[in-house]
């Protein structure tokens, strides 16, 4: 009998992380009306809570992150208060649309970006030290864009969502909430 | 039909039938609407190819009480072709999505072919396949003007492929392209503020 290829064995999800319910409470408290999304592996638990009938926040699915962002921009102009939920790969994909809408046009969109693909050795360490480019490059890219970001690694950090929204709307720009690791399902 | 004729028909219908309807434009259509002085309740996806359908969908979801008119470009829509699926999936109450199909990028400047020019894309068929409630192709200005009252009364997502003639290319070695006017780079910021305020009033 051959042993499984260690590269093909999923690592267990280490304990810890912010809960989906804490993130949802923070979004509700901040008056968010829509979560526009290309779904994120890291935020599965939040997608599930948003899909519940009593979530109170509409979940809008888009085919690409660029579309998610332009839909969010239209929602904002129409009087709604959306956020965009994507994973790190999707954030990279929509940089030109982010440049046009949030930076040039001043549309205050907050992104909830899941740090997809962190290796278990990187949990608890700076993401800039990750061996994986999609994780390692995210904060430097956000900084290059001149945007601020907040990290959510546990429930207490969910307060950063309100801060990010307040900053984005006051400064008429984008802001990023980094979902540091898999949201828990409670 | 040229793009100026198509945009003139759309602007006239909006003025007469639903002046409250937000108008989203991009690429050649923005210059055609500029020439017509069509500035009220308008936002352009610029400089941003591919964003018009998403902007229109967001407006329609936020304001289901209003019809929303999008005048897209074929090259722009091809860049985010999945927008057809995103629009259909989210079931806007009233979204009238025009696509200016002339098969070129930089219409009237260099007329470089889009990837969808040959073989020719059938945008109306693709919209129906994506789930739009109605789609058709119109290639005559009179036919468009006659159809617009009915189109503006439709509910759900409607796509009209405007089969357009290309404007003559006017840029070349003897007449190089100029720098773009500064307003092109700030007009979307201006429109975000003015359209948002108009929709709140």
Query: Tens digit of pLDDT for each residue in A3-40?
Result: 888 788 888 888 899 999 999 999 999 999 999 999 99
- Residue ranges covered by each domain of chain B: 3-39+52-104+116-165+180-196
Mean pLDDT along residues A162-173? 98
Q: Kindly state the tokens that stand for A164.
A: 């990010």
Specify the CATH superfamily of domain A15-179. Answer: Thiamin diphosphate (ThDP)-binding fold, Pyr/PP domains (3.40.50.970)
Residue of A nearest to B47 (CA): A100
| Measured distance between the N- and C-terminal CA atoms of chain A, rounded to whole angstroms | 40
Given this model, what pLDDT does residue A143 score?
98
What backbone torsions phi and psi does residue B160 show, to the nearest 5 degrees?
-120, 115
Residues pairing with A150 in the sheet: A177
Query: In whole numbers, what is the pLDDT of chain A averaged over residues?
Result: 96
Cα nearest neighbour of A97 on chain B: B48
Q: Which residue has the tokens 């500029």?
A: B34
> What's the token pair of residue B45?
């996806």
Q: Pick A107's closest partner by Cβ from B50, B63, B192.
A: B192
Q: How confident is the model at residue A179, as a pLDDT? A: 98
pLDDT in tens, B137-181: 999 999 999 999 999 999 999 999 999 999 999 999 999 999 999
Average pLDDT for chain B:
97
Contact B112, B67 (CB under 8 A): no
Phi-psi region of B29 (alpha: psi -120 to 50; beta: other; left: phi over 0): alpha
How many CA atoms, within 13 angstroms, populate the side-chain half-sphere of residue A111? 35
Residue B95 is encoded by which pair of tokens?
Answer: 């979204």
Among A111, A113, A112, A109, smallest CA distance to A171 is for A109
pLDDT above 90: residue A117: yes
Sign of the CA dihedral running A117, A122, A125, A127: negative
B32-86 residue pLDDT tens: 999 999 999 999 999 999 999 999 999 999 999 999 999 999 999 999 999 999 9
Q: Please compute the mean of the pLDDT values over residues B115-136 and round it to a whole number.
A: 97
Distance CA B50, CA B52 (A): 6
| Cβ B128 vs Cβ B135: under 8 Å | yes
* Tokens describing residue A1: 């009998």
Specify whether the CB–CB gap between B135 and B101 falls below 8 A.
no
Q: Is A171 on the interface with B (CB under 8 A)?
A: no
Which pLDDT score, from 0 to 100, does residue A1 have? 65
Nearest to A78 among B58, B82, B89 (CB): B58
pLDDT tier for residue A110 given thresholds of 50, 70 and 90: very high
CA dihedral B132, B134, B139, B140 (to 10 degrees): -140
Distance from chain centroid for Cα A117: 14
Distance, in angstroms, between B17 CA and closest chain A CA?
Answer: 20
Segment A47-61 mean pLDDT? 96
Residue A14 class from Cβ within 10 Å (0-12 exposed, 13-18 middle, 19+ buried)?
exposed
| Sequence spans of domains, chain A | 15-179
| Distance (Å) of CA A172 to CA A61, A73, B74, B187 | 24, 12, 31, 15
Assess contact for A42 and A85: CB atoms under 8 A.
no
The Cα A14–Cα A182 span in angstroms is 9
Topology of domain B3-39+52-104+116-165+180-196, CATH: Rossmann fold (3.40.50)
Q: Helices in A30-181 by DSSP H: which ranges? A: 44-51, 65-77, 88-93, 95-98, 133-136, 138-144, 159-171
Distance CA A152, CA A48 (A): 18
Q: Tell me if the bond preceding B47 is cis, omega within 30° of 0.
A: yes
- Dihedral angle computed from the Cα positions of residues B52, B29, B60 and B125, in that order, rounded to the nearest 10 degrees: -80
DSSP state of B185: G
> Which stretches within chain B are classed as H helix?
3-17, 28-36, 52-62, 74-79, 83-90, 123-130, 141-153, 187-200
Confidence of residue A106 (pLDDT cuts 50, 70, 90): very high
Q: What is the mean pLDDT of residues B116-125?
A: 96
Residue A4: the pLDDT is: 81
Of A61, A66, A73, the CB nearest to B58: A73
Task: Record the tokens describing residue A157, joined without a space.
Answer: 């950090």
Q: Which of residues 88-147 of A touch B (CB under 8 A)?
A: 96-97, 100-101, 104-107
pTM for this entry: 0.97
So what's the ipTM on this one? Answer: 0.97
Does B185 contact A at CB distance below 8 Å? yes
């Amino acid at each position: 009998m051959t042993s499984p290829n260690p590269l093909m064995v999923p690592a267990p999800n280490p304990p810890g992380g912010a809960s989906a319910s804490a993130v949802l409470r923070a979004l509700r408290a901040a008056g968010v009306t829509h979560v526009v999304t290309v779904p994120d592996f890291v935020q599965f638990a939040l997608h599930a809570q948003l899909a519940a009938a009593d979530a109170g926040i509409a979940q809008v699915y888009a085919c690409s992150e660029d579309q998610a962002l332009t839909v969010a921009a239209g929602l904002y102009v129409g009087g709604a208060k959306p956020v965009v939920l994507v994973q790190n790969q999707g954030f990279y994909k929509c940089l030109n649309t982010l440049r046009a809408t949030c930076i040039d046009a001043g549309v205050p969109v907050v992104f909830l970006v899941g740090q997809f693909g962190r290796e278990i050795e990187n949990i608890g360490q700076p993401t800039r030290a990750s061996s994986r480019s999609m994780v390692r490059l995210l904060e430097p890219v956000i900084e290059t864009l001149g945007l601020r970001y907040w990290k959510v690694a546990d429930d207490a950090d969910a307060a950063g969502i309100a801060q990010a929204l307040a900053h984005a709307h006051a400064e008429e720009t984008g802001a990023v909430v980094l979902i540091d690791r898999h949201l828990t399902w409670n | 039909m040229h793009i100026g004729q198509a945009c003139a028909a759309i602007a006239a219908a909006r003025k007469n039938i639903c002046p409250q309807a937000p108008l989203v434009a991009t690429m050649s259509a923005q210059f055609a609407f500029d020439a017509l002085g069509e500035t009220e309740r308008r936002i352009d996806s610029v400089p941003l190819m591919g964003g018009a359908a998403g902007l229109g969908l967001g407006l329609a979801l936020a304001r289901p009480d209003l019809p929303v008119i999008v005048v897209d470009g074929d090259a722009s829509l091809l860049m985010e072709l999945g927008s057809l699926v995103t629009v259909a999936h989210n079931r806007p109450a009233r979204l009238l999505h025009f696509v200016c199909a002339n098969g070129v990028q930089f219409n009237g400047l260099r007329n470089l072919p889009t990837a969808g020019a040959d073989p020719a894309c059938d945008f109306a068929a693709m919209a129906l396949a994506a789930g739009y409630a109605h789609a058709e192709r119109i290639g005559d200005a009179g036919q468009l003007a006659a159809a617009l009252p009915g189109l503006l009364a439709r509910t759900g997502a409607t796509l009209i492929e405007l089969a357009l003639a290309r404007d003559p290319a006017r840029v070349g070695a003897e007449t190089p392209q100029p720098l773009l006017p500064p307003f092109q780079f700030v007009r979307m910021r201006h429109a975000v503020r003015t359209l948002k305020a108009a929709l709140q009033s």
